[in-house]
Amino acid sequence: MIPVTKTFFPPIKDYHGQVQRIWDNQWLTNRGELVKELETNLKTELGVPNITLTTNGTLPIQIALKVLAKGGEVITTPFSYVATTSAIIWERCKPVFVDIHPEYLTIDETKIEAAITSQTKAILATHVFGNPCHVEEIERIAQKHDLKVIYDAAHCYGVKYKGNSLFNYGDVSTCSFHATKIFHTGEGGALFCKDEELNHQLFYSHNFGHNGPEDFYGVGINAKMSELQAAMGLSVLPYMNDILKARKNIVDFYNKNLNFSKLQKLKIREETHWNFSYYPVIFESEAKLLKVQKELNEQKIYPRRYFYPSLNLLNYVNRETMPVSEDIASRIMCLPLYKDLETDVLFEITKSI
């Protein structure tokens, strides 16, 4: 079976070596040695001033919303994973959808201002498939209207925009280190924030609000990463160059061998150093997508429809028409992309399409 993605497993001896440290330390959670080491290594690797590791990639969004949106309206994208919208609702905020750009697939920055009301507190935008939003224009709008900016950067490990880590844009950026991501800790995630005062608030919010064992800065939740998760991250990190190189080769193969007279591919924003996180293709119609999907499934090849349906059509939101997102969501499918994907399989995929 060929899945759309596949978890990278480091050599078992590498993981055993990290786990042995946990047994030696007799410390499983509450910010042990491995979590702190992984944070230090990632700050250097990614070029970010601050990072708070978390137990998954959704809690960082919820924490950022709790701290910055304060129950108000949040302008967001309908084209993302469901966690982007559900986190807004879970934190008792109101999602206000703005349609997407038809080529970059990120939120259409030209439509944001029309959605702002007196109740708007924040913009939560997704760097879709690791493709940057128009961060300069979003920043200009946010400053003009005194709004906070949160980026769902779940797909953005290693992405740079204009030479700077994409995690350094916005008031807060969040990332997922789920097993399906390029860099992973099995389950996991992170908060990124440049402002020291806000970073402090985010940090204590992820650990019950603790200020020492018997005092509390304020309300918090348990979003801490465990030592076992950090052990996986420390085991995966040395292989990131190999992983990214392999993924680039697969993307290059697709770019060379697919017929783009009848397919549209993702347009990467200018001045972006991309990470080859996904390979989405947009078909002429949903019927053609379903036909190709059926043919590939019959060969035990399983692409996936990211992101479907458009989130404005969920049954727990106020439905508004988002024509571009709804259209793209009906016609887009991600092709298999992972480190050890073999060339003969790639030939079969491109041939079938």
What pLDDT sits at residue 216?
Answer: 86
CA 125, CA 76: separation in Å to the nearest integer? 5
Provide the token pair at 182.
Answer: 């390029």
Encode the chain (353 residues) as per-residue pLDDT tens digits.
Answer: 999 999 999 999 999 999 999 999 999 999 999 999 999 999 999 999 999 999 999 999 999 999 999 999 999 999 999 999 999 999 999 999 999 999 999 999 999 999 999 999 999 999 999 999 999 999 999 999 999 999 999 999 999 999 999 999 999 999 999 999 999 999 999 999 999 999 999 999 999 999 888 888 999 999 999 999 999 999 999 999 999 999 999 999 999 999 999 999 999 999 999 999 999 999 999 999 999 999 999 999 999 999 999 999 999 998 899 999 999 999 999 999 999 999 999 999 999 99
| Domains of the chain with bracketed CATH | 12-238 (3.40.640.10), 239-352 (3.90.1150.10)
Using an 8 Å Cβ cutoff, are 136 and 110 in contact? no
With beta carbons less than 8 A apart as the criterion, state whether 243 and 339 touch: yes
Find, among 137, 201, 146, the residue nearest to 169 by Cα.
137
With beta carbons less than 8 A apart as the criterion, state whether 64 and 175 touch. Answer: no
What's the pLDDT at 18? 98
Q: How far apart are the first and last CA of the chain?
A: 18
Asked if residue 314 lies in contact with residue 166, where contact means CB atoms within 8 angstroms, the answer is no
Return the amino acid letter for 230: A
Query: Rounded to whole angstroms, how far apart are CA atoms 293 and 305?
Result: 9
Is the C-alpha dihedral spanning 283, 286, 291, 295 positive or negative? Answer: positive
Cis peptide leading into residue 95 (ω within 30°)? no
Q: Quick check: bond before 183 cis, omega within 30?
A: no
Encode 224-261: b = buried (16+ Cβ within 10 Å), e = exposed: bbbbbbbbbbbbbbebbeebbebbeebbebbeeebeee
Over the stretch 159-218, which tens digit does the pLDDT of each residue have?
999 999 999 999 999 999 999 999 999 999 999 999 999 999 999 999 999 988 888 899
In SS3 terms, 87-146 reads as HHHHCCCEEEECCECCCCCCECHHHCHHHCCCCEEEEEEECHHHCCCCHHHHHHHHHHHC
pTM assigned to the model: 0.97
Distance between CA 56 and CA 189 in Å, rounded? 5
Relative to beta strand 148-152, strand 94-97 is unpaired
Q: Residue 214 has what pLDDT?
A: 84
